[in-house]
Structure formats: C-alpha cells, structure tokens
Structure 1
Amino acid sequence: MRKYEVSDSQLISLYKNGNEDAFAELVSRHKNKIFTTIFMIVKDHNLAEDLLQETYVKVVNTVKSGRYNEEGKFLPWVSRIAHNLAIDHFRKAKRYPTIVMEDGSNVFNSLEFSEESIEDRQIKEDTHALLRELIKELPDSQREVLMMRHYMQMSFQEIAEVTDVSINTALGRMRYALINLRKKMDKTNVAYDKNIYPE
C-alpha cells in the first residue's frame, strides 16, 4: 500500500497532527480540479494561480484554527472557497453586470452616455449600488448563476460545469433569478426612472 492511499479525511487528520506531507498530498491530489474551477471563472492564468494560492492559504488557516469540520467533503469545500474567491475578485474589481431581463430589456441599456452629467453619473452609481444590494438578496444558487453569467460572461455550459449541475438547472436558476430580481426592482421607487430604464 502506498503511503498516501488514504482518504482526504485521513490526510486532514494527519495534517492536523503536524504531518506537512499529508497536506502536500491533498494539494497535489486536487490542485488541477481547483485550478480549473477558478480558471473557468476568471479566464486568466496568472490570476487563477494567485487565487489558487489564496484558496490554500484559507484552507490552511481554517484547518489549523480547528474550524474545519467538513469530514469526507474536502474537495467540495475547497472548491467552494475557490469559487467564492473568484467571485469576490469580480466584486472587488467593481465590474458591473449587463443584465438582460426576462422581457429582453437591458437594465443598463441607456447608460452608455458619451458625456455624462454629474446627475447622470450619480443616478448610474446609485442604481448600480441598489442593483448589487438586490442581487445579494437573491437565493445563493440564483445569485451565483446571475453573477457568473453577467459579471463574468460565462456560458451556461461553463456555469453548469463549475457549479456541478445540468445546463437545464443552470438555465432554470437564471430564469428565476431574473424573475425575482424584476420583482425586487418593481418594489423600488427608482425601478422605472426614465434615465435608467427606458421603455
């Protein structure tokens, strides 16, 4: 029997007890899959490498602090960390979505001003901020698909692979995300400001 023909959970236990080789084996065992997960989102090799390193820093900190309790589910747990870091990168970069609603209208299709007045710019910034808040209120699975599709321009095939669901499920989550987002927008007073949402 080879030295590391053991489960992820056993390797975690060994690492907790000071066996650094056990963690090296965990990294080696799952590195390619985690990297692919990140790369499919950010589509930049160097950035994916950076986020991979950041992922494992988080893993080390969590395990060493005694907060890791995902017994038997190491890979899904690490994948989720990597996934969240990739999405956080886009959030920090303040990239704004071009969201196409169920009726085919583009939420921001009137915002491509060649020259913006201070008022126009403020309306745009306020609306972006409001939209980000409304997106945060969506169920996790719907928010995830919406962000991956519109913030990151990922195809539904890529979204399905990264989130480990069928394309139909990804499409369904997207549809419900747009329906729910429209309902939330309808409840706000700025939802139909003609400067933002032309008819």
Structure 2
Amino acid sequence: MSNNDYPTDTQLVSRFQNGDLNALEQLIEKYKDKIYTSIFFLVKDKYLAEDIFQETFIRVIDTLRSGRYNEEGKVLPWIMRIAHNLSVDHFRRLKRAPFVSTDQNDMRDIFDVMGIYHNENAENQRVRQETYQTVSRLLEHLPASQREVLVLRHYGDMSFKEIARLTDCSINTALGRMRYGLLNLRKLMATHQIEL
C-alpha cells in the first residue's frame, strides 16, 4: 500500500461525520501515542491521563457529530488543544500548576497503556525505554514553561503559532522557550555526559 492509499485526516473526519465509525478508530489509532504521552507529561498520573485521553475523544466526537469542527487539515493540533485545555482545567480545579512526569515507574507503564511497540525486539525496547527515561529525567530540570513548549512541539506536532495561542503567549516567547529549553537540555546532557 502506498502513502496515497492511506486516507488523510480530513478524509477520516469526513467519513466519521458521514457515519463511518471505523474512520474515528483509524484517527485515534494514528495519534493515540502522541496525545496520551503529551497528556501524561502534563498530569504525571497514568490514570488521570487515561481519563483525560478519553474525555478528549468524547469532546472530539461531540464536536464532529455536531458539525462544529472547522480546523480543516489540522486535526492533530486541534485534538492536542482539547487535551491540553482539559489537562490545564484539571489543575485549575485543583488550584495548582501542571508539571511533567519523570517518575521512572510510571514511565514504564506508558507504552503498556498505549499498546504500542508490540513487535519490537528486546534490545530495541530496552534502548528505547532507557532513552525515554533519560529524556524524562532531563525534562524535570527545565522550567515548566520550556518543558510545556517542548512537549507540545514534539508530541503534539503543533506550530509555534498554535503553541503561543494555547499557552497564551506571543510566538516569539514560544520560540524563545523552545530555544532555551533545547539549549538547557544540551547543557544538562553535556554536564552529565549523556548521549542519545
């Protein structure tokens, strides 16, 4: 099957709106790892992340069924905005700021919950897990604003314009946070002699 044989996000949305439930399943399958991981990084609790993940797709379904979807061609950033807003809303209710997870025990459970990497050999799985844990530990040392932009950009594939709008800052501020976040990660890697 060539890349042209796979339906686009816009086609999947249209199919779902026309009653094809399989189209929604394909869309969820395509993005579940990025969406769940970004939620998990923000809330640091796998059960809460699962709840917010489910609530995200309930909102997606409601919006699509009601015909209110108008983000033509930008499905993942739209879903990421919903997930981010639900995560932030949770912390607003608790009156505390979100933070990024770096608990190694929780990180080992993420991929089990998402159900990915089943065909990966043991060595690649170990390397991937160690790399993931190393990056997670490094992210812990970044300021929350830098960490948030890195997560949204990497896992959400969001543009800086979308990140700026979502985090209520200017595009230049979002770009600066990304730049300083990457610089700080590189410094941490050099300080601790870590190579990925």
Report the equivalent of 1:39.
40
Residue type at the aligned position of 2:42: I
Report the equivalent of 1:57.
58
CA gap of 1:83–1:154, structure 2 versus 1, over 3 A, is farther
Residue type at the aligned position of 1:170: R
Residue type at the aligned position of 2:56: T
SS in structure 2 at match of 1:170: helix
TM value normalised by structure 2: 0.53
Question: Which of 126, 133, 147 is matched with 1:158 structurally?
Answer: 147
SS in structure 1 at match of 2:95: coil
Q: Answer yes or no: is the 8 Å Cα contact 2:150–2:178 preserved in 1.
A: no
TM value normalised by structure 1: 0.53
Aligned length: 118
Q: Within 5 A, what are the aligned runs for 1:41-190? A: 41-95=42-96, 155-164=144-153, 169-170=176-177
Report the equivalent of 1:9.
10
Identical positions, percent? 46
Q: In the alignment, does 2:25 pair up with 1:21?
A: no
Counterpart Cα distance in 2 of 1:154 and 1:47: 23
Counterpart Cα distance in 2 of 1:31 and 1:96: 24
SS in structure 2 at match of 1:30: helix
**Structure 2, unaligned runs of 5 or more:** 99-141, 154-159, 161-172, 180-196
Q: Which runs of 4+ in 1 moved over 3 A?
A: 1-4, 153-157, 165-168
Q: Answer yes or no: is the 8 Å Cα contact 2:60–2:79 preserved in 1.
A: yes
Task: Give the RMSD, CA atoms, in angstroms.
Answer: 3.0
Q: Answer yes or no: is the 8 Å Cα contact 2:31–2:76 preserved in 1.
A: yes
After superposition, the C-alpha distances for 1:14-42 in whole angstroms (9 at most, x for unaligned) are 00110000000000000010011111110
After superposition, the C-alpha distances for 1:153-190 in whole angstroms (9 at most, x for unaligned) are 96454222123259862279xxxxxxxxxxxxxxxxxx
Structure with bigger gyration radius: 1
Residue type at the aligned position of 2:85: N
Counterpart Cα distance in 2 of 1:36 and 1:158: 13
Shift of 1:64: 0.2
**Structure 1, unaligned runs of 5 or more:** 98-152, 173-199
Report the equivalent of 1:197.
none
Residue type at the aligned position of 2:152: T
SS in structure 2 at match of 1:78: helix
